[in-house]
Chain A
Amino acid sequence: MTKTSPLSKLYIALVFIFLYAPMVVMTVFSFNGSESTYIMDGFSLQWYRHLFNDSITMNALKNTVVLAVISSVISTLLGSAAAVGIYNMKNKFLKSSVMTATNIPMMNPEIVTGISMMLLFVFVGVLMNRTNVLGFATILIAHITFQLPYVILSVLPKLRQSDPRVFEAAQDLGCHPVKAFFKVVLPQIRSGIVSGAIMAFTLSLDDFIISYFTNGPDFQTLPIHIFSMTKKRVKPDMYALSTLIFVVILILLILMNVAQSNSDKKQRKEKGEDR
C-alpha cells in the first residue's frame, strides 16, 4: 500500500507547484527594488520598512487580531455550552430545528450570510434612527455568528464519544451536576473545544466577505484594508505583508506539527507500557 510510483510523485509535485506559485511570486516581488508588481528591478527591503511605518496597515492588523481574539473567545464559550445543551436536549423537534439553524451559516454562501446580517443591522439602525450602525459591535456579532457552527460541530462529536456513565457515576458518588460536569465531562471534550477555538480564531483572521458587508469605516480589519488597497494598483508592500503572514503561519504550523507528533509518540509509549 505504501509503494508510490514516480509518476504519482510527479503529479503530487505538480499540484503543489500550482498551489504555491502565487506564494513564490509574492515573496520574490516583496523584495522588489521598484514599485512594480510585474517587473523585478533589483533587491531591496524598502517595502518591509514601508510596511512597518504604515500606520493604517498596522492599525488594521491590530484590529484584526483584537477582533479574532474577542470573537473566538466568545464563540468558543457560547458554542461549547450550546453543544452540551444540544447534546442533552430531550425534545427531538427542538433539537433538529436548532441543528438546522446551526447549519444555515455553513451552507449559505458567505455573501448571503454577510448581506443578511447587514440588512438586520441596517433595519435595526433605521428603527433606532441611526444611520451609521455598522462598526465594531456589528462585525463582532457577525464573526461570532459564523464561528459558532464550527465550534459546535467540533465539540458535539466529542460529547457523543464521551462515556455518559462516568458522569452518572460522579453524581451517584455525591458530586453536584455542575461540579461533575467540570471534573468529568469537560476533560473528555477538551480537545474538541480547543480545535473549535483554533478554527474560530483562524476563520476570523482570514474572513473577508462577511466582514466586508458588516464592517464600519471606523473599524477596518486587515482583509478589508487589503481589499481597498487592491482596488488601486498594488505596491509590493502588500506582498511584503503577506510574506510575513506566510512565514508566521508556517512557523506556527511546524510547531503544531512537532507538538502533535510528540504527543502521538508519548501516547504510543504510554499505551505500550500499559500493556
Chain B
Amino acid sequence: MKRSPILTKLINAPYILWSVLFIIAPLIMVIYYAFTDRTGAFTFDNVKGISDYLSTFILSVGYGAIATVICLLIAYPFAYFLAHTGASFQRTAVMLVMLPMWMSFLIRTYSWMTILGESGVINSFLGLFGIDPVTMLNTPAAVILGMVYNFLPYMILPIYTVMTKMDVSLIEAAQDLGCGKLHCIRKVIIPLSVPGVVSGITMVFVPSVSTFYITQKLGGGQINLIGDVIEGQFQTANNYNLGAALSLLLMVMILICLGVLGYFTDSEDEGSVLM
C-alpha cells in the first residue's frame, strides 16, 4: 500500500501513547504497589501475605471450574439444537440470548434472591403443598447458580457461532461413509467446535473466578472468593499494597490458565486437521 510513512506514524501515535499510558502503566502500577509498603519502600511483605489467601485462590478456581463445566454442559446441546432450527427462529433466539447481557447484572443477580429466598417464589410455591421452606440462598449452590446464570450467554454464543459456520459437507461426508449419528457427533462435530468451546470457557471462567458481587448477594458473605478479598482490600480495608499483590497473582494465574487452554486448542486443531 502506498502511504506516506509520516502519515502512518501520525495515525498510530495517539493509540500507542494511549495504550502505554492506560494499559501498560496501570499494570506497572500493580507491580509497584505489590512490592512496596504504605510509605513506598520496597518490601516482600505483601507477596508473603498472599500465603494466607492460597486456600481462597484454590476455592475460587474450584467454583470457577464447576460453573464453567455446568455452563458448557448446558450450552453445548443448546447451541447444537439451536443451530438446527429454522433461520428466523434462530435470529430471534440469538437476540433473546443476548438480551440479558445488556441488562444490569446486579439487578438480575439480586432478583435471584427474590426467587430463592426463605420466603421467596420457590418456597412460596412449595408452601402451597405444605412443604417447609428450603434454604437455598447463602449456599455454595446458589453462588454456582448465579455464576452459571450470569455467564451462560457467553458460553452459548461462541459455540453457536462455530456450529452455524461448520461445513455441512463434512458432516454429510461422514454420514455417507457410514458414520452413525453419535459417532458423527463425537468424531466430526465436537472436534470442529473446539475453537468456540475454548473461547466460551475463557469467557465464563475468567469472570467467574474473579467475581465479587455474586458471592456477596447469593452467598450472603459466607463464601469468600478471591474477588471478594481483593475488593475488600481496596474498598474497606484500604490496604492497596496487599490488594495489588493479590491482583497480580490473580492476573498471572489467569494468564497461565489461558496459556494452558491455548496449548490444548493448538494440539486439538492439529488433531482435527490430521483426521
Contacts and interface: CB of A to CB of B under 8 A. Distances in A.
Interface residues of B, number: 86
Interface stretch (A50-58, A244-252, A267-275): A244-252
A145 interface: yes
B82 A238 contact: no
B152 to A, nearest CB: 7
Given A19-B153, A86-B12, A116-B26, A164 B99 contact: no
Contact of B250 (A9, A112, A142, A145): A112
A73 B145 CA distance: 36
A239 B107 contact: yes
A141 B25 CA distance: 13
A2 B83 CA distance: 9
B85 interface: yes
B213 A227 contact: yes
A48 interface: no
Interface stretch (B44-52, B109-117, B188-196, B264-272): B109-117
A119 B22 contact: no
A89 B12 contact: yes
A257 B95 contact: yes
B138 interface: no
Interface in A157-191: 164, 167-168, 171, 177-178
Interface in A227-247: 227, 230, 234, 238-239, 241-242, 245-246
A135 interface: no
Interface of A: 1-4, 8-9, 11-12, 15-16, 18-23, 25-26, 29, 37-39, 78-79, 81-82, 84-86, 88-89, 98, 101-102, 104-105, 107-113, 115-120, 122-123, 141-142, 144-145, 148, 164, 167-168, 171, 177-178, 202, 205-206, 208, 213, 222-223, 226-227, 230, 234, 238-239, 241-242, 245-246, 249-250, 253, 257, 260-261
8 contacts: A9-B81, A18-B149, A19-B97, A110-B207, A111-B231, A112-B247, A119-B240, A226-B104
